[in-house]
Structure 1
Amino acid sequence: MELIDLFLAFASLLFLAFWWRRSFSSSSSAASKAILPPGPPGWPFVGNLFQIILQRRHFIFAIPDLRKKYGPMFTMKMGQRTLVIVTSPDLIHEALVQKGSSFASRPPDSPIRLVFSIGKCAVNSAEYGPLWRALRRNFVSELISPLRVKQCGWIRDWALERHMGRLEAESKRAGFVDVMDTCRFTVCQILVCICFGAKISEEWIRDIDNVTKEVMLITMPHLPDFFPILTPLFGKQMRKAKQLRKVQVECLLPLINNRRAFVQKGEGPNSEMVSPVGAAYVDSLFGLDAPGRGRLGDQELVTLCTEVFVAGIDTSTSVLQWVFYELVVNQGIQEKLYGEIVERVGKEGRIGEEHVETMPYLNAIIKESLRVHSPAHFTLSHAATEETELGGYRIPADVNVEFYIEWMTEDPSLWKDPEVFRPERFLDGDGVGVDMTGTKGAVKMLPFGAGRRTCPGLSLGVLHVNLMLARMVQKFKWVPVPEYPPDPTETFAFTVVMKNPLKAAIVPRL
């Protein structure tokens, strides 16, 4: 270790000791203002952080055990960060819906995340206020409004036609299909075209997908996130993040510049720029005046475009992989779905947006997959806008409030045989009338969050999943590969995915 590193280490330890004494001494005076729920006792300086690390499993998989011991709401000290974990459906509904504005902000970002969010200038990370409202309003109107969805329908048709060809080619080459890999590429291709209004090479699509995956992985919680005061000691991680940010900008900025030049010229669509001026998401960002920031620069444009990929690729493809796992191991469900598709459009009819909306069994399968295999066990981190009461405790504005949504889908008091995959429950059982956004009453599942910070792209993501699933089942029968038996073991990689990616054989429908 160099002399400067030793100096920084010593200074950081002194600062850490000072911070700990100050936090400890002020805790008694703060108790009268904020009384946090009880939780597991922690170690000096690090709190519960190393206790979680020593379990050698991801944090999300430790929550059920902690819930059994400490109840539906408990506190964890993770380094400098205080986490309030909320697992009760009633408390989640109270916080996110009944007191939505009070829990609508985001906690401070880590230094690494700030490299990519450019001062939290993004829909998902922006603090509750004028900037967030402006960015979200623009996102909704320019990506998921009925007019925009209809306008981009041809993009999905074009991409899914090529998707079917890739499935056949991979099946002939390998004898099976890697479901998540092939679906990732197609979803990324659709989102790139919607975002930039351009058709680009497959190599460029894969570059965008790869850099998006790397950004998601590097911005997941790591040790520096829990000790911001020790940031000088994590120089290697910061340098890696800044280098990745440079790669990300170099990958996306040419697309942004090409589209900007096309918009300025006001030309009609061509072989590269296939969407007319005003039809691509990035077009709306060129003239957007963001409160407190003014016109957006290149860095902000890269961040906001990346957000479309981060929000849309992993979640959609994770859902599709789990759905096909269930269809492969439950052939009866697959054939029932195929029967519904044939009844609606025939064996070779084109399946469009207007058709998937009228397929109740298709939608029931997606909902049941979201219940049994939710892409996320937590919502994104929330923060109170001011000190707020929840469940009889006072929650200060400077803590992370984490809503654990997995428990409610496993609760036998809410679901009959919750471990069983049964789509019919959403047609004539305990899933009838369930609202996945929590706005219409009691909550039983919240795969996209709830309240003001509900995932704004949920309708678009569900549409892509429905269309891809319906077309893939219409054209092929999906069966297990003996050499690679389906394995439902979970792991965490930004979303909850299969530890051993699903491989399935496809048989053309007669």
Structure 2
Amino acid sequence: MDLIDLLILCICLIFARIWWRYWSVTGSGPKNLPPGPPGWPLVGNLFQTILQRRPFIYIVRDLRLKYGKIFTMQMGQRTLVIVTSSELIHEALVQGGPTFASRPADSPIRLIFSVGKSAINSAEYGPLWRSLRKNFVTQFVNPVRIKQCSWVRQYASENHMKRIKRESLENGFVEVMSNCRLTICSILICLCFGARISEERIKNIEGILKEVMLMTTPKLPDFLPILAPLFRNKMKEAKELRKKQMECLVPLIRNRRAFVEKGEDPDSEMGKHGVVKEEDTEKMPYLGAIVKETFRRHPPSHFLLSHATTKETQLAGYTIPADVNVEFYTAWLTEDPDMWKDPGEFLPERFLEGDGVGVDITGTRRVKMMPFGAGRRICPAWSLGVLHVNMLLARMVHAFKWLPCPTAPPDPTETFAFTVVMKNPLKAVILSR
């Protein structure tokens, strides 16, 4: 090795040491971030995570056992602070609500679909977000508006019942989740445009939304922007998909009908004798317990949408800078034996006379489960979501007897798409009551 090679090696070692001391989140530098796994120079834990070839959730579970309730991962240029305990989640999102209510920097692809972080779920905490949320709550999910739009839910649920009956006759079974997802999508789209939308068009919109969700999942350039030029085709695909999305929605916007003032649809045949009504679900405590236990045992996601702080702050004695991703791991809340008796068992009764009595799913008093988030960024339509699930479940159970499909028994194995779903979709045999 000549003198030049030795000099280059020394410079590299000095640079690595400086990086480890002052930029690495695991190098015990002056940032005082939570502890975390040692990373590689420049890329941190990114390739260590990729090379494990496991879903990120399993890596987080292992790291929680080693580093505790709060820890840090350096994923390329992004710093992730992962919070896993009920107490710290409540302290951050509820007690320190405004401080932890912002969003981190978005990737170029996400910026396309969030219109430059101008959507209610992606906007940074501030005047724009407050205006968007206020408009959404007052015009879309206030109790009066929800009641006025009951005809939308009646229309969609009637179509749902007809569809699953038809599918059962044709196939001998029904695919439960795909039908429920289509119905919920139908309700939301009809609410947005105040009109009946054909099922064919709903399916088209649902397919585009699914493409958008998959397109915006984290990718390598999100953590190492220097690699972005290698993914130019992805940016092009995102722009084409955005164009397709707008082409699908613009005709609906232009032809939007006004909401029916008294919530009545003159062409509707709803309200027939024997049909479960929305108000009936309020008198079904066991139904509500089943829905809550489903949210507890199978939350829609193992993480909330990424949060960020509005300013440098403290949590559990550690410094949380304003430019890091704060990730709240929700799965452990439902698996913690200190909070739930037999947490791995599906026991709706716990919400009637057990450790689930009085549990607040919004997390305001204590965070034991949070299927809709918590704090300032909680889903503003969470009550509407609960109403939809209660109504659909009640009508399905009231109209049919449900049996497992003999050729496809239930398989609880999870897979990870935009949300957590069953790896093998649930199929069931239905018999009219």
Give CA-to-partner distance per residue, 1:155-192, whole Å, 9 cap, x none.
11111111111111000000000011111221111111
Per-residue CA deviations over 1:339-373 (Å, capped at 9, x if unaligned) read xxxxxxxx962322222122111110011011110
Equivalent residue for 2:303, pick from 361, 374, 378: 378
Equivalent position of 1:291 in the other structure: none
Residue 403 of structure 2 corresponds to residue 502 of structure 1: no
What is the root-mean-square deviation of aligned Cα atoms in Å?
A: 2.2
For 1:146 and 1:20, locate their aligned partners in 2 and report how far apart those are by CA, in whole Å: 58
Local SS of the residue matching 2:161: helix
Judging by fraction of residues, say which structure has more helix. Answer: 1
> Following superposition of structure 1 onto structure 2, how do residues 429-440 of structure 1 map, counting pairs within 5 Å?
429-440=354-365
Secondary structure in 2 matching 1:206? helix
- Answering whether residue 172 of structure 2 is matched by residue 188 of structure 1, we say no
Letter in 2 for 1:428: E
Find the counterpart in structure 2 of residue 123 from structure 1.
120
Letter in 1 for 2:97: G
1:27 aligns with 2:11: no
3-state SS of 1:213 partner: helix
1:453 positional shift: 0.5
Question: Matches of 2:232 and 2:262 in 1, distance apart?
Answer: 42
> Is residue 34–residue 387 contact of structure 1 (8 Å, CA) maintained in 2?
no
- 1:24 Cα deviation from its structure 2 partner: 5.4
What is the one-letter code of the residue matched to 2:379?
C
Q: Is the 8 A contact 2:308 2:326 kept in 1?
A: yes
**Structure 2 contact 300–419 (Cα < 8 Å) conserved:** yes
Alignment partner, residue 332 of structure 2: 407
What is the match of residue 164 of structure 2?
167
Residue 213 of structure 1 corresponds to 210
1:395 aligns with 2:379: no
CA offset at residue 209 of structure 1? 0.3
- Partners of 1:22 and 1:118 lie apart in 2 by 38
Cα distance in 1 for partners of 2:394, 2:111 equals 39
Q: 1:451 aligns with which of 365, 372, 375?
A: 375
1:190-205 maps to which residues of 2 (within 5 A)? 190-205=187-202
**Secondary structure at 1:144's aligned position in 2?**
coil
What fraction of aligned residue pairs are identical, expressed as a percent? 65
Q: Report the counterpart of residue 405 of structure 2 in structure 1.
A: 481
Counterpart residue type for residue 117 of structure 1? S
Change (3 A) 1:23 1:253: farther
Q: Is the 8 A contact 1:111 1:228 kept in 2?
A: no
Cα distance in 2 for partners of 1:222, 1:381 equals: 15
Of residues 253, 259, 269, the one that matches 1:275 is 259
**Residue 232 (str. 1) matches residue 229 (str. 2):** yes
Equivalent of 1:90 in 45, 68, 87: 87
Deviation at 1:424, TM superposition (A): 0.4
- Matched residues in 2 for 1:196 and 1:433: separation? 36
Contact 1:211–1:248, Cα closer than 8 Å, also in 2: yes
Paired letter, 2:403? V
Aligned CA distance change for structure 1 residues 111 and 419 (closer, same or farther; 3 Å): same
Point out where structure 2 has 5 or more consecutive residues left out of the alignment. Answer: 1-14, 264-271
TM alignment of 1:75-86, pairs within 5 A: 75-86=72-83
**Which amino acid letter does the alignment assign opposite residue 197 of structure 1?**
G
Cα distance in 2, alignment partners of residues 360 and 66 from structure 1: 39
Check the 8 A contact 2:101/2:310 in 1, yes or no: yes
SS of structure 2 residue aligned to 1:383: coil
Over 3 Å counting, the alpha-carbon distance change for 1:379 and 1:246 in structure 2 is same
Q: Which residue of 2 aligns with 1:350?
A: 275
Shift of 1:197: 1.1
Distance 1:378 1:502 in 2: 23
Partners in 1 of 2:261 and 2:46 — Cα distance? 50
TM-score between both structures, scaled by the size of structure 2: 0.91
Structure 1 unpaired stretches of 5+: 1-18, 260-272, 280-346
The one of 337, 341, 347 aligned to 1:416: 341
Look up the equivalent residue of 1:27 and give its one-letter code: W
- Aligned residue pairs total 410
Residues of 1 paired with 2:285 and 2:145: CA distance? 24
Deviations, residues 369-399 of structure 1 (Å, cap 9, x unaligned):
1111011111110001100000010110000
Alignment match, 2:415: 491
Question: TM-score when scaled to structure 1?
Answer: 0.77
**In 2: Cα distance, 1:182 partner to 1:443 partner:** 31
Kept in 1: contact 2:306–2:326 (CA 8 A):
yes
- The letter of the residue matching 2:355 is D
Question: Is the 1:80–1:227 contact (alpha carbons within 8 Å) kept by the matching residues of 2?
Answer: yes
Amino acid of the structure 1 residue aligned with 2:146: V
d(CA) in 2 for partners of 1:357 and 1:31?
A: 54
Residue pair 1:111, 1:231 contacting (<8 A) in 2 also: no
Alignment partner for residue 101 of structure 2, among 104, 108, 111? 104
* CA gap 1:278/1:34 in 2 versus in 1, 3 angstroms: farther
